[in-house]
C-alpha cells in the first residue's frame, strides 16, 4: 500500500488541529487572521527587498554595463524589464497583469474568494521587476494581490468554506496595505471599502487582527517610520476652507483624466497586432524616453513626493509632472506592465496639490495654502476620486501625518473629489477594468446573496428520519399514514444516532417491486451522499444539490460529520434568497416574487 504524499499528510494533521479550532468560531477565525497577517507582513518585506534588489540590478549594474551609452542607457533599462515581465505574466499567470486589485475584487464577488496560488509568486516577481526597471507604477496594488492570494491559498489548502476564504482574502489585502504604508487603519478600511465593498462584524474583527499583525511584522523589520516625512500643518485661517473646496473639484477632474488615460492606453496597445508578451518591452522604451528627460517618473516616485511636500519643486516642473506621470503610468499599465495605480495617484495628487498651493500663494498670499498641506490633501483627493474610496484615502493620509489638524481640509477635498467623479463616472479605476469586460461588480455584490447567507439560517432543524433497521414495508406504511413523512427523501440514522445514508420514496418503491419488503432500510438506502456544514453558504449547498441531482442534503457538524443537525432543501434556499432580497431593498412588508 502506497504511503500518502507529504501534502496529504500535512493536510490530515492540519485538519485535526483545525477541527479542534472550529469548536470556537472566534478562535478559528482569529487563528487564521493572525497567520495571514504574519505571512503578508513577511511578504511585504520580501517584496520591498526585491524592489530594491532589482533597482540596483537594472539601474546601477545595468548603468555600469551600458556606460558607453552615457545618459541614454535609461531608455534600454525599462525595455529590458519589459522583456522579462511580458513572458512571465503571459505564460504563467495572466491575472498578474496590470494593477491586480480588480482581479481580487472579482474573485471575492463571484468566485468565492478563490485565487490561483501561483498568482502570488508571479505577481511578486513581475511587479518587482517592472518597478525595479523603472516602470511608472506602485507597489501597493501588487502587495494587495499578493496578500489576498496568500489568504485565499490558505483557505483553499485547508478546504474552508467560501465565506471564510473571502474573509482571509480581505485579511491579506488589509495586511498588505498596513505593512506597506505602516498604516493599520488604512489597511482595514481599504479591505472593507474597496475589496469587499461592505462593512460587517464578521469581517471587521478578522481584518483588524490581520492588519495589526502585519504592521507589527513590518515595524519589527523595517522600522516604525511613516511612509512619508511630512511638515506639520496648522489651519491659520477659516478662509482656507473655500480654497480646499475648489481644489476638490480640480482634483476630481484630474482623477477622471487619470482613469480615462490608463484605459485609453490599454486600448491602443490592445489594437496592435503583435504578440502580447512583447508589448511591455515596447512600453518600456516609451518609459525610457520619458524618463530620460523626467527621471522623476521612474518607479514609485516617493522621493519626488517628499520634495513636493516640502515645496522644493518649481511650479513649472511640478505642473508638468502631473501630466507626465499620468502618461508614464498609462504607458506602463497599458502595455502590460505589472504594478499598482495607488502610488501614481498619490504622486499625481502631490504634484497637483503643490501646484495649486503655489498658485494660491501668488494670487491670495494672505490666505494661501501651504505647500505641504496642498501636496498632502492632493494625494488624498486624487486617490479618493480615482478609487471611489474616500474613507481609505482620508485614513491613510491622516496616519501618514499623525496631525489631526489636517483632517478638516482632507475630508473636504476627498469627499468633494469623490462626489464629483461619481457624478461623471460610476466606475472607479478598479471597477472600470471589470466593466469593460461586461462585469458589473455592484450587481454581483448585491445579487450574490447566496454567497453571504450561511446554511444554518435556512436549514430545517426538526428533521424526520428513519432508523436503519426499520423494514422497507414499515417505512412505506409510515410514509402513507404519517403526514410528517411528506418529503421525498429522509436521512437514515444508526442505532447510535449517527447519519449513515439517505432513503427516498423511489428507493422504497423499487425495493417493494423487487420483493424486498422485509429488508432493512439500510440495504436499500443511498450510502454515498453529499453533506453540508452549517457555516457553508447557500451557494455551496446549491452546488452540492446540483452535483448529486437531489432535492435535499443533510446538514452535519463539521467537527463530527456523522452528527445530523438539520436538512437543507431547494425550497429552503429559494425562500432564504427571496427573504434576503426583500431585506436588501427594504421590502419586508411586501409579498410576491422578486
Q: Which pLDDT tens digit goes with each residue over 502-539? A: 888 888 888 888 888 888 888 888 888 888 898 888 87
Q: Are residues 315 and 388 in the same domain?
A: yes
Share of the chain above pLDDT 70, in %: 87
Please state, in angstroms and rounded to a whole number, the distance separating the CA atoms of residues 97 and 386: 19
Range of the domain at 305: 240-440
Whole-number Cα distances in Å, 551 to 310, 313, 507, 565? 67, 69, 15, 17
Last residue of a domain, one of 409, 440, 471: 440
CA distances in angstroms from 44 to 6, 131, 171, 172, 314, listed in the order given: 28, 15, 14, 11, 34
Q: Which residue, of 440, 471, 494, is where some domain finishes? A: 440
pLDDT at res. 522? 87
Strand partners, 569: 552
Report if residue 106 sits inside a domain. Answer: yes
Per-residue pLDDT tens digits for 96-135:
787 778 888 877 776 667 888 888 888 889 999 999 999 9
Q: What angle do CA 199, 205, 210 make, to 5 degrees?
A: 110
pLDDT at residue 5 in the model: 57
469: in domain:
yes
Q: Compute CA distances 182 → 39, 41, 449, whole Å.
A: 16, 10, 34
Per the structure block, which three cell numbers stand in for 8? 496529504
Tell me the average pLDDT across 206-227: 86
Q: In this structure, are 70 and 181 located in the same domain?
A: yes
**For the residues 272-298, what does the mean pLDDT come to?**
92
Do 68 and 145 belong together in one domain? yes
Asked whether residue 4 is domain-assigned, the answer is no
Position 544 in a domain = yes
Model confidence at 37, in pLDDT bands (50, 70, 90)?
A: very high
| Separation CA 501–CA 62 (nearest Å) | 68
- pLDDT for 572 beyond 80: yes
| Torsion angles phi and psi, residue 551, rounded to 5 | -105, -10
407 and 455 belong to one structural domain: no
What would the grid cell of residue 394 be? 482620508
pLDDT in tens, 45-89: 998 899 999 999 999 898 888 888 888 999 999 999 999 999 998
Mark whether 159 and 77 lie in a shared domain. Answer: yes
In the prediction, which pLDDT does 26 show? Answer: 63
Asked whether residue 264 falls in the same domain as residue 325, the answer is yes
Using the predicted structure, report yes or no on whether residue 591 has a pLDDT greater than 50: no
Contact 268, 193 (CB under 8 A): no
Between 479 and 47, whose confidence is greater? 47
| High-pLDDT (> 90) share of the chain, % | 28
Domain count of the chain?
Answer: 3
Q: Which of the 8 DSSP states describes residue 340? A: B
Report pLDDT for 451. 67
Domain shared by 172 and 318, yes or no:
no
Q: What is the largest CA-CA distance in the chain?
A: 102
Dist CA 392 CA 258 (whole Å): 19
Domain presence at residue 590: no
Asked whether residue 213 falls in the same domain as residue 245, the answer is no
Distances (CA, A) of 184 to 120, 215, 229: 22, 6, 17
Between 579 and 444, whose confidence is greater? 579
Instruction: Give the model confidence (pLDDT) of 540-558 as tens digits.
Output: 887 788 777 777 889 998 8
Report yes or no on 592 lying in a domain.
Answer: no
Task: Output the domain CATH number for residue 548.
Answer: 3.10.580.10
Query: How far is 39 from 247, CA to CA, in rounded Å?
Result: 40
- Of 192, 222, 252, the residue at which a domain comes to its end is 222
Q: What is the 3-state secondary structure (H, E, C) of 515-576?
A: CCCCCEHHHHCECCCCCECCCCEHHHHHHHHHHHCCCEEEEECCCCCCCEEEEEEHHHHHHH
Residue 593 has pLDDT above 70, yes or no: no
Q: Quick check: 294 pLDDT over 70?
A: yes
What is the pLDDT, as a whole number, of residue 525? Answer: 87
Shared domain check, 468 and 420: no
Closest CA relative to residue 565, chosen from 541, 526, 531, 528:
531
Provide the whole-model pTM. 0.74
Same domain, 466 and 558: yes
Q: Compute the average pLDDT of residues 339-357.
A: 93
With respect to residue 233, please indicate whether it lies within any of the assigned structural domains: no
Structure-block grid coordinates of residue 308: 513636493
Helix (H, G, I), strand (E, B) or coil at 104: helix
Per-residue model confidence (pLDDT) at position 10:
59
Band (594; pLDDT cuts 50, 70, 90): very low
As a whole number, mean pLDDT of residues 268-275 equals 89
CA–CA gap between residue 110 and residue 448 (Å, rounded)? 8
Same domain, 272 and 398: yes
Distance between start and end Cα atoms, the chain: 56
* Residue, of 480 and 64, whose pLDDT is higher: 64
Q: What pLDDT was estimated at residue 319?
A: 94
- H or E element in which residue 504 lies: strand 499-504
Contact 249, 424 (CB under 8 A): no
Higher pLDDT, 200 or 244: 244
In a domain, 399, yes or no: yes
CATH classification of the domain holding 360: 1.10.3080.10
Residues 150 and 262 in one domain: no
Amino acid at each position: 500500500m502506497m504511503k500518502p504524499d507529504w501534502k496529504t499528510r500535512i493536510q490530515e494533521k492540519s485538519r485535526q488541529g483545525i477541527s479542534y479550532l472550529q469548536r470556537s468560531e472566534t478562535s478559528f477565525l482569529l487563528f487564521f487572521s493572525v497567520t495571514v497577517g504574519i505571512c503578508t507582513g513577511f511578504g511585504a518585506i520580501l517584496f520591498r527587498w526585491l524592489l530594491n534588489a532589482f533597482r540596483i540590478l537594472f539601474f546601477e549594474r545595468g548603468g555600469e554595463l551600458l556606460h558607453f551609452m552615457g545618459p541614454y542607457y535609461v531608455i534600454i533599462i525599462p525595455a529590458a524589464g519589459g522583456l522579462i515581465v511580458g513572458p512571465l505574466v503571459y505564460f504563467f499567470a495572466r491575472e498578474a497583469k496590470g494593477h491586480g486589485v480588480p482581479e481580487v475584487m472579482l474573485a471575492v464577488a463571484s468566485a468565492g474568494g478563490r485565487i490561483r496560488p501561483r498568482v502570488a509568486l508571479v505577481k511578486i516577481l513581475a511587479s518587482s521587476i517592472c518597478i525595479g526597471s523603472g516602470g511608472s507604477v506602485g507597489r501597493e496594488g501588487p502587495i494587495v494581490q499578493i496578500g489576498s492570494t496568500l489568504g485565499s491559498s490558505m483557505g483553499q489548502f485547508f478546504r474552508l468554506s467560501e465565506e471564510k476564504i473571502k474573509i482571509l482574502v480581505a485579511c491579506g489585502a488589509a495586511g498588505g496595505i498596513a505593512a506597506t504604508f505602516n498604516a493599520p487603519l488604512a489597511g482595514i478600511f481599504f479591505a472593507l471599502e474597496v475589496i469587499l465593498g461592505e462593512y460587517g462584524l464578521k469581517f471587521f474583527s478578522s481584518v483588524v487582527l490581520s492588519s495589526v499583525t502585519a504592521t507589527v511584522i513590518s515595524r519589527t523589520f523595517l522600522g516604525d517610520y511613516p511612509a512619508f516625512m511630512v511638515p506639520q500643518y496648522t489651519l491659520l485661517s477659516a478662509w482656507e476652507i473655500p480654497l480646499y473646496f475648489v481644489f476638490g473639484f480640480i482634483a476630481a477632474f484630474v482623477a477622471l483624466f487619470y482613469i480615462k488615460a490608463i484605459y485609453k492606453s490599454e486600448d491602443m496597445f490592445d489594437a496592435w497586432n503583435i504578440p502580447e508578451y512583447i508589448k511591455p518591452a515596447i512600453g518600456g522604451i516609451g518609459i525610457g524616453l520619458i524618463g530620460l528627460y523626467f527621471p522623476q517618473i521612474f518607479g514609485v516616485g516617493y522621493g519626488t513626493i517628499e520634495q513636493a511636500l516640502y515645496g522644493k519643486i518649481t511650479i513649472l516642473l511640478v505642473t508638468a509632472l502631473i501630466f507626465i506621470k499620468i502618461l508614464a503610468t498609462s504607458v506602463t499599465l497599458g502595455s502590460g506592465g505589472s504594478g499598482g495605480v495607488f502610488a501614481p495617484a498619490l504622486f499625481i495628487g502631490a504634484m497637483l496639490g503643490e501646484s495649486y498651493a503655489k498658485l494660491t500663494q501668488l494670487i491670495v498670499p494672505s490666505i494661501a495654502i501651504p505647500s505641504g498641506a496642498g501636496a498632502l490633501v492632493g494625494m488624498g483627493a486624487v486617490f479618493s476620486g480615482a478609487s471611489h474610496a474616500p474613507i481609505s484615502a482620508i485614513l491613510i493620509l491622516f496616519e501618514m501625518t499623525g496631525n489631526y489638524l489636517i483632517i478638516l481640509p482632507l475630508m473636504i477635498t476627498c469627499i468633494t473629489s469623490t462626489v464629483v467623479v461619481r457624478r461623471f463616472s460610476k466606475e472607479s479605476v478598479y471597477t472600470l477594468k471589470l466593466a469593460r469586460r461586461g462585469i458589473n461588480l455592484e450587481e454581483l455584490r448585491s445579487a450574490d446573496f447566496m454567497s453571504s447567507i450561511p446554511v444554518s439560517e435556512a436549514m430545517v432543524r426538526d428533521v424526520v428520519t428513519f432508523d436503519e433497521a426499520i423494514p422497507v414495508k414499515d417505512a412505506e406504511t409510515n410514509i402513507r399514514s404519517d403526514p410528517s413523512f411528506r418529503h421525498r427523501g429522509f436521512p437514515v440514522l444508526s442505532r447510535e444516532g449517527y447519519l449513515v445514508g439517505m432513503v427516498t420514496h423511489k428507493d422504497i418503491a423499487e425495493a417493494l417491486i423487487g420483493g424486498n419488503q422485509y429488508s432493512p432500510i439500510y440495504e436499500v438506502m443511498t450510502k454515498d451522499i453529499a453533506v453540508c456544514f452549517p457555516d457553508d453558504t447557500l451557494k455551496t449547498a446549491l452546488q452540492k444539490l446540483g452535483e448529486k441531482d437531489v432535492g435535499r442534503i443533510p446538514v452535519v457538524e463539521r467537527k463530527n460529520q456523522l452528527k445530523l443537525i438539520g436538512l437543507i432543501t431547494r425550497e429552503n434556499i429559494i425562500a432564504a434568497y427571496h427573504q434576503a432580497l426583500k431585506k436588501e431593498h427594504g421590502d419586508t412588508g411586501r409579498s410576491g416574487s422578486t
